[in-house]
Amino acid sequence: MNKVTIIGSINLDTNLRVERMVKPGETIHAKEHYSAAGGKGANQAVAAARSGCLTSFIGAVGNDAPGSEMLNLLKQEKIDISGITTVNNESTGQAFISVDDQGQNSITIYAGANYDVNVKDIEQKSELIASSDFVIAQFETPVDATIRGFEIAHANGVRTILNPAPAMAKIPVELLKLTDMIAPNETEAETITGVHVTDEASARQAAAKLHELGVKAVIITIGSKGAFYDFNGQSELVPAFKVKAVDTTAAGDTFIGAMASLLKPDFSNLPEAIVFANKASSLTVQRYGAQPSIPYKKEILQVQ
């Protein structure tokens, strides 16, 4: 069983189902409204836990009702929340998500307490990081805290996985030097490398540029086409499982968490882990909401 520590965000998601995305200056009616637990970090933690990982979390919530609700939900997933700080005078992070009839989403985030995660918080949980197989982070919490977390990880032989989302055009060099694997989607890969990723050939070009930045293992998810990997001289586009998508929210997060549950620290079984992650994501996109859509291991194993 892999032990994974997530450094990341925790949000309360407000979801709207719409026929199509709203245009500037336009008012439209939503078909459905509901709330769910979210945040890229929390989504990835839930995906890892449901896929069989021993999962810990480092992050922050506000001293409010949504914060208490998010903590309770993470505890229900048997995630170690001892690294989550409750911040006074700040609200828990929130995301406002519109999902159209094609299953595509548009997301606006208010960071709230997520931006209070700091280097001190990370250092106080250094033993948690040091005892992990993988440390995973995104860009919904301060980068300096992530850098410190990855420093501690590397000092203790722990592998680091960076999901560079939301996209950042210029990722700090010191963070990239500490990143063992980078896992953007096609849009994020383009923001970082300037390569418009649409297929295996363009993904290969983007991966080459990511290698030039110092990252040895690259995975680029390309929506319904699958996931491209390039590591140690081996590369391949692993096809996605063909399903009818109704909501792509948390699909990428599910991929990351599920992959980490199966991946070996030397990445030697990367293709196998990607297939497992693709299966997990194929289930997520057939359901609404972020964390409510994330499957359990027994469901993933049944996907053919």
Q: What are the residue numbers of the active site?
A: 253
The answer to whether 165 is annotated as binding is: no
Listing from the earlier edge strand, what are the strands of the sheet with 105-110?
Answer: 32-38, 11-17, 93-99, 105-110
> Is 281 a known ligand-binding residue?
no
Of 107, 75, 38, nearest to 289 (Cα)?
38
Q: Is 69 annotated as a binding residue?
A: no
CB atoms within 10 A of CB 293: 24
Check the annotation: does 35 bind a ligand: no
Contact 195, 204 (CB under 8 A): no
Known binding residue 52? Answer is no
Whole-angstrom Cα distance, residue 6 to residue 81? 10
Residue 287 assigned as binding residue: yes
> Any binding-site annotation on 233?
no
* Dihedral over Cα of 204, 210, 212, 216: its sign: negative
Q: What is the sign of the dihedral through the CA atoms of 130, 46, 280 and 186?
A: negative
Task: Tell whether residue 11 is among the known ligand binding residues.
Answer: yes
Tell me if 129 is assigned to a ligand binding site.
Answer: no
Cα dist. 260→46, 78, 103, 270, 278 in Å?
12, 17, 26, 10, 12
Tell me whether residue 132 is annotated as binding: no
232 marked ligand binding residue = no
**Residue 221 bridge partners (DSSP):** 185, 227
Calculated CA dihedral for residues 42, 45, 46, 48, nearest 10 degrees: 160
The answer on whether 157 is annotated among ligand-binding residues is: no
Residues annotated in a binding site for K(+): 247, 249, 284, 287, 289, 293
Annotated binding-site residues for substrate read 11-13, 39-43, 140, 253
Residue numbers belonging to the annotated binding site = 11-13, 39-43, 140, 185, 221-226, 247, 249, 252-253, 278, 284, 287, 289, 293
